Every structure is written in C-alpha cells, then in structure tokens.
A and B are shown apart, each in its own frame.
Chain A
Amino acid sequence: MKQFTNPKTIVKWAELLQPVAGLMAAILIMVGLYYALINSPADYQQGQAVRIMYIHVPFAWLATMVYGIMAVVSAVGLIWQHPLAHLACRSAAPLGAVFTALCLVTGSIWGQPMWGTWWVWDARLTSVLVLFFIYLGYLSLVRAFDNPLKGEKLAAILVLVGSVNLPIIKFSVDWWHSLHQPASVMRLGKPTIALPMLIPLLLMVVGYMSFFVYLWLMNFRAAVMERKNYLKEINRPQME
C-alpha cells in the first residue's frame, strides 16, 4: 500500500497519465460529437432538440462525479492526512464548478424549447444550483487563509458536509414530483434510451471524463510544485 501512496510515485503517475487522458479526450469527444450531432437519430418526441442531451448530460454527470472525487480525497486528507489529498481536492474544485455552471446553462437552453421555460425551482434544478454554490463556497474558503494548509482543512470539512447534497440531486426526481424527468441511464433495470442514442452519449461521457482527468492532473501537478516552493519558503532559516 505504502508504495502506491508515496507522493513521488503519485506525481510520477500523474505526469504519465496526463497526456494519455488528453489524447483519449480528444478522440472520444470528436467521435462522440460526430455521432451526437450528425449521425444519430432525432428523438420521437423532441426531434432535433434531443442533441442538446449529448452536451448537457455529460456536464451533469461530471458535476456530481467531480464532487464525489473531492469528497473522497477530502476524507483521505482529513483522516490519513496524506500530503497530496487536499491538493488533489483543490485542483479539482474549479473544474467541478465550471462543469456545474455549464450543466445549468445547457439545461436551461434545453428547457426553453422542451418544457417551455428557462428555469423552474423544482427539486432537481434547485439541488444542482445548491451544488454550484457549494463549489463557490469551497473555492473562496480554501483561499481565505494566509496559511493554505489551514484553508484546505476547513474547506475539506465543507466538502464532506456538502456531500449530503449528492444523493439529493440523484434521487430528487424520484422522491418529489419534479419537472425534470427521472433517470434514463443510471437506473435500476435497462436504460430507457435507444442504443443509437446511448452510444454517442456514453462516448461523450467518457470523453468529458478524460478531459476532466487531463485538466485535473495538470492543475494537480502545478499545485504540487507550488506547494513545494511554499514549504521551502517558510522553512528557510531567517537570515538577519
């Protein structure tokens, strides 16, 4: 176990994996976009507007998935105090915030022609907006202290407390009447989405995930270097 959690090993792996993730993202998103926008059928109800799904749904999954990752690494940072855990969390946070914002914007653009409204305060939309605010809260809290280690620790507690929102987002469409429809893919039983539409959707989802990993590792490696410099700086003997 120790050899996998060694900070040097982790940074080395990050360096190796980053270009792989970037290449995967480029290929999958290009192929995915081709199927999503050109070579997939229109929906029987929504017609061509269904194509917004291939952009919107991956953003929505990423928004919650990134938060899930942040919750796990925050727990690792708080409990086992691994020196890189909080850095992994803070390098994922701005990406999660952007994905959530894009999820809200694309959802709104989809909602206008289909539902007849840009926005409603139903349980799903509201809980995703809350997720966006939690991301913003994290980003400001983690920067609010002169000592970054202190900010990271407090912000990690915020992430754990906020993780209660994840099951609320997921099940909001089942627990309460909402305008947003229930899950089509991540559900018990078969997906309720036809195969020629499911395949481009999954291509896009895995493509977005790879793109996230690419950006995350890039942020993470920069954060590690920055932290090394910071620690060197504060440990330098004071010369008078």
Chain B
Amino acid sequence: MKRKHRRLVLVLAILAAVMVSTALVLLAFRDSLVFFYGPTEAMAQQIPEGRRFRLGGLVEQGSVLRDSDGLGIRFRITDLNQQVAVNYRGSLPDLFREGQGVVAEGSWTAANLFTATTILAKHDENYMPKEVAESLKNSGKWRGAETGKAE
C-alpha cells in the first residue's frame, strides 16, 4: 500500500470511530437531549410534583380561558392523543394562540394539572403570505398546525 493510501484509510477509520462513538453517546443521552416532553410522554414518565420540566405540544382549540384580571390564563396542551391542563400567570409571546405550537416550563401541581412559569411559542416550518394561508383554509387544503395536525 502506498503511503497516500495508508493515510486515506487512517483518516476514514478515525472518522468512522468518531461517528460511531458520538452516535452511542447521543443515544445514551437521548432523554436529556429532548427540549420538551409531549403530554403522552410527560404522563408516562411519572415525573413527581414540583420537579421542573418542559411540556410541549399544541394549544388545544377552544381551550384557552383568560382570568378576569387579564394576567392569568388556563389552556390545554395536546399532542392529539392526550391533553394536559396548564395554568400560567405572566406575559405571553406574540405567537401564542389556539392551535399553535407551544412549550411550557413548569411542574405538575396536581394530577394532570401543569403550572407553568414560562411559556415559549414554537412556530412551524411553514412560511407564506396571509392571503395564501386564507385561501388554503377556504379551499380546505390547509394542512398547518391550526387544524390540529401533529408535527
């Protein structure tokens, strides 16, 4: 084997080793690499009350109730399989609305009741002008989050 070929094999071998070991590490830390749990996962995990975690999903259509003082809000986060009721007091990001993706940071305060201290909006990968979005909705071809399609 020429020296050049030996170096080629060496470089490829190092690359393969680095990739395999990185893949193993990422696989091992899979649970801590997710930014949030969906409702189904969050319920299955049996996280104790008071421990902080992030809960993500869609704001369920028709579930948003605002307190009369305008600061408190209650809604449900859904993954279209399970729903979790969420309580929150504080300011909301501009993109927060029913049908929109959302990530809430907080903890269980009762069975199936999540109290959030921070609300982040998650927007999807669709970009379009308003008129296009409206005509898609009118023609029934809308496939975005607002009809409740999971990501």
Interface residues of A (CB under 8 A from B): 41-46, 50, 53, 75, 78-81, 113-117, 120-123, 157, 160-161, 163-164, 168, 175-179, 181-184, 187, 192-194, 196-197
Q: A45-B123, A179-B35 are in contact. Are A79 and B11 (CB under 8 A)?
A: yes
Q: A79-B11, A164-B18, A197-B127 are in contact. Are A123 and B94 (CB under 8 A)?
A: no
Residue B65 CB within 8 A of the other chain: no
With a CB–CB cut-off of 8 A, which chain A residues contact B8?
79
Most buried by B among A44, A115, A160, A192: A44
Question: How many chain B residues have a CB neighbour from A under 8 Å?
Answer: 43
With a CB–CB cut-off of 8 A, which chain B residues contact A42?
129-130
Q: A78-B7, A115-B120, A120-B35 are in contact. Are A192 and B18 (CB under 8 A)?
A: no
Residue B92 CB within 8 A of the other chain: yes
Nearest-neighbor residue (CB-CB) of A50 within chain B:
B127
Task: Give the distance to chain A from B102, nearest Cβ to Cβ, in Å.
Answer: 10
Tell whether, in the assembled complex, residue B7 and residue A181 are in contact, meaning their CB atoms are under 8 Å apart: no
Tell whether, in the assembled complex, residue B127 and residue A193 are in contact, meaning their CB atoms are under 8 Å apart: yes
Tell whether, in the assembled complex, residue B11 and residue A164 are in contact, meaning their CB atoms are under 8 Å apart: no
Tell whether, in the assembled complex, residue B92 and residue A116 are in contact, meaning their CB atoms are under 8 Å apart: yes
Task: Give the distance to chain B from A54, nearest Cβ to Cβ, in Å.
Answer: 11
Nearest-neighbor residue (CB-CB) of A78 within chain B:
B11
Q: A192-B127, A196-B129, A197-B127 are in contact. Are A181 and B4 (CB under 8 A)?
A: no
Residue B44 CB within 8 A of the other chain: no
With a CB–CB cut-off of 8 A, which chain A residues contact B133?
44
Which of the residues B4, B7, B125 comes within 8 Å of A184, measured between beta carbons?
A: B125
* Chain B 100-118 interface mask (CB, 8 Å, partner A; 1/0): 1001000000000000001
Task: Give the distance to chain A from B150, nearest Cβ to Cβ, in Å.
Answer: 12
Which of the residues B18, B19, B35, B119 comes within 8 Å of A122, measured between beta carbons?
A: B35
Which of the residues A115, A164, A197 comes within 8 Å of B122, measured between beta carbons?
A: A115
Tell whether, in the assembled complex, residue A43 and residue B94 are in contact, meaning their CB atoms are under 8 Å apart: no
A197→B52 CA distance, assembly (Å)? 39
Which of the residues A43, A81, A177 comes within 8 Å of B128, measured between beta carbons?
A: A43
Q: A114-B95, A116-B120, A164-B18 are in contact. Are A193 and B11 (CB under 8 A)?
A: no
Describe B's contact surface by its main secondary structure. mixed
Task: Give the distance to chain A from B131, nearest Cβ to Cβ, in Å.
Answer: 8
Residue B77 CB within 8 A of the other chain: no
Describe A's contact surface by its main secondary structure. loop
In residues 21-67 of chain B, which contact A (Cβ within 8 Å)? 22, 26, 30, 33-38, 56
With a CB–CB cut-off of 8 A, which chain A residues contact B124?
181-182, 192
With a CB–CB cut-off of 8 A, which chain B residues contact A182?
124-125, 151
With a CB–CB cut-off of 8 A, which chain B residues contact A187?
125
Q: A120-B120, A179-B120 are in contact. Are A114 and B35 (CB under 8 A)?
A: no
In the complex, given contacts A43-B127, A193-B127, what are 4 additional A-B residue pairs having Cβ atoms less than 8 angstroms apart?
A42-B129, A116-B95, A160-B14, A160-B15
A112→B33 CA distance, assembly (Å)? 22
Which of the residues B15, B34, B123 comes within 8 Å of A46, measured between beta carbons?
A: B123
A182→B36 CA distance, assembly (Å)? 15
A159→B119 CA distance, assembly (Å)? 38
With a CB–CB cut-off of 8 A, which chain B residues contact A197?
127-129
Tell whether, in the assembled complex, residue A194 and residue B125 are in contact, meaning their CB atoms are under 8 Å apart: no
Which of the residues B38, B96, B122, B129 comes within 8 Å of A41, measured between beta carbons?
A: B129
With a CB–CB cut-off of 8 A, which chain B residues contact A157?
14
Tell whether, in the assembled complex, residue A177 and residue B36 are in contact, meaning their CB atoms are under 8 Å apart: yes
